[in-house]
Amino acid sequence: MAHARFSFSVIYEPRVHTVYIMKGGVDVKFRSVFDIIGPVMIGPSSSHTAGAARIGRVARHLFGREPESITISLYGSFAKTYKGHGTDVALVGGVLDFDTFDERIVNALTIAKEKKIKVRFIEEDAVTDHPNTARVHLKDDKGELELVGISIGGGKMEVIELNGFALGLSGNSPAILVVHNDRFGAIAGVSNLLAKHEINIGHMNVSRKEKGKEALMTIEVDQNIPQVVLDEVESLPNILQVAKISE
Amino acid sequence: MFRNVAELVELAQSRNVPVSEIMIEQEMDVRSSTREQVVGQMERNLEVMEQAVERGITEDVRSHSGLTGGDAVLLQNYLKSGKSLSGETMLDAVSKAMATNEVNAAMGTICATPTAGSAGVVPGTLFAIREKINPTKEQMVRYLFTSGAFGFVVANNASISGAAGGCQAEVGSATGMAAAAIVELMGGTPEQSSHAFAIALKNMLGLVCDPVAGLVEVPCVKRNAMGASNALVAADMSLAGITSRIPCDEVIDAMYKIGQTMPSALRETAQGGLAATPTGRELEARIFGVSLDKK
């Protein structure tokens, strides 16, 4: 497969975690009252601890397994204050699959060490659009993943970049990510198939790094997409990998 | 879906229902959930808040840095002396707000409202008013939905992040949310809730986020204390019939614009304000062994 560097076939488990993705169009950033009254979490900071844990956990779920090494670059306020807020502990806790209220977060660095996972933090000086930005790089002998997440307040986070692709999805509705060859008909194939299964697309975004090469479709839909449909999408011409992101 | 406070108030008043009801129904719609599911989740959040308050006012909670802890208990003891000037409900709210933030600073379990750094104001005021009027569990849960409805507007139209908008976006928002919810709990109208929110937030405008050593401790715990007192006063003013000359949505917009023009040193970077005072730097050096600005 063209991108062995990232195992994309892993299905994001429904209900385990909400993946919040980049705002787009007129959609609102916060959709649920529990984004405001919540989350229940280990202190001390919703943006620097809970949001950070969620960024780490999304990376872990998209990677699909425990990595052998974790490299995290911190920007802006994250870079300045991560030690005091436990941002480092929380990000690694998230990668270890701990939820925001999991008390094991407090000891995440020690737990990672016991598991012999290499952990490295880089404090970046670069100015980013959002003050709380983290670039999470996970790796093992089978592949690697790089994700950029921003913590936008109150424990809510957004994934703005995945393996170099800018993500342009809105809200936290069920969504699928489709890696495909940048060829004519690839997008139509996927949308026709979803239409056949009466799945409505609420928002769709396509990005590519280079013309004619690998591209990424991010599709937000109104309901959960059954596995059989995903398998069908993956079998379409020019479709390389499919991953589901659900609430 | 309501996009601003004016729409929220209009929705509630045209249907003659409280703000909390609008929020519950919207949540059911957004999540395709039943009322039981939505209310049940809020009840669980309420329990977490109660446990944090209880822990903070009874245990000797201390943060790892040693900067905060124990003040909620001090205030509870002072209250029992009967000598307080600002009154029982007021100081009880202040103590319970601090209790929550002291537990938060000690890496305990809390419910963010709307953030962890500002998690004290909403439960602090709620559990103090409980002592006074003995509300039902449903009323207490509604208090959280009303707070959430106002916070929802701020989060979408401005910001609830200290790194983006300073403390006014965090404790400021929490204070407005609590003030609006107090009004509903005390029998005020949705319109009065919006005035209480506006009055409360107006008095938090410009508040910077300048945590010593970058920790959610100094001055966060005491800012929650003052947020709780501000919320009670703003709610009382509104219930007395006082209105805000500047409409609620415009106050929220002003807060957003102030946040945008606030220097980064005053937005949760521990580079300015109290964090950059000689004592702030000294504490920082003691906690981390080296001052952050010298790295």
Q: Which of B107, B119, B108, B167 is nearest to B144 (CA)?
A: B119
Task: Name the β-bridge partners of A123.
Answer: A74
The DSSP secondary structure of B38-90, one letter per residue, reads HHHHHHHHHHHHHHHHHHHHHS----TTSSS-SHHHHHHHHHHTT--SS-HHH
CA–CA dist B120, B102 (Å, integer)? 9
Is any Cβ of chain A less than 8 angstroms from the Cβ of B213? yes
Query: Where is B96: in which H helix or E strand?
Result: helix B88-105
Looking at domain A175-245, what is its CATH homologous superfamily?
ACT domain (3.30.70.260)
Query: Is B116–A86 a contact, with Cβ atoms under 8 angstroms apart?
Result: no
Tokens of B170: 């965090």
First to last CA, chain B: 47
Task: Name the β-bridge partners of B33.
Answer: none
What would the pLDDT profile of B154-207 be if each residue is shown by its tens digit? 999 999 999 899 999 999 999 999 999 999 999 999 999 999 999 999 999 999
ipTM of predicted assembly, 2 dp: 0.96
CATH assignment of A39-166, among 3.40.30.10, 3.30.1330.90, 3.20.20.140, 3.40.718.10? 3.30.1330.90
3-class SS string, A7-32: CCCCCCCCCCCCCCECCCCCCCCCCC
Distance from CA of A152 to the nearest CA of B (A): 7
User: Best of A34, A36, A223 to disrupt the B interface by mutation (most B CBs within 10 Å)?
Assistant: A36
Alpha-carbon distances, residue A223 vs A11, A178, A194, A247 (angstroms): 16, 17, 11, 10
| Of residues A30, A43, A83, nearest to B110 (C-beta) | A43
Angle at A97 between CA A93 and CA A101, to 5 degrees: 65
Query: Is B109–A101 a contact, with Cβ atoms under 8 angstroms apart?
Result: yes
Residue A86 CB contacts under 8 Å (≥ 6 apart), including other chains: A44, A45, A48, A49, A105, A106, B107
Query: Is A76–B163 a contact, with Cβ atoms under 8 angstroms apart?
Result: yes
Query: Where is B165: in which H helix or E strand?
Result: helix B162-165
Q: Which of B31, B42, B181 is nearest to A31 (CA)?
A: B31
What was the pLDDT predicted at A196? Answer: 93
CB B75 within 8 A of CB B95: yes
Is any Cβ of chain B less than 8 angstroms from the Cβ of A54? no
Tell me the domain boundaries of chain B: 5-50+112-294
Is any Cβ of chain B less than 8 angstroms from the Cβ of A200? no
Sheet holding A214-221, edge to edge: A201-208, A214-221, A175-181, A239-245
Tell me the domain boundaries of chain A: 39-166, 175-245
Q: What is the mean pLDDT of each run of 10 residues along chain A (247 residues)?
A: 33 32 48 93 91 90 89 92 87 95 94 98 91 95 92 85 76 75 94 92 85 87 83 91 65
> pTM for the complete prediction?
0.82
What would the pLDDT profile of A148-176 be if each residue is shown by its tens digit? 999 988 888 888 888 888 885 544 567 88
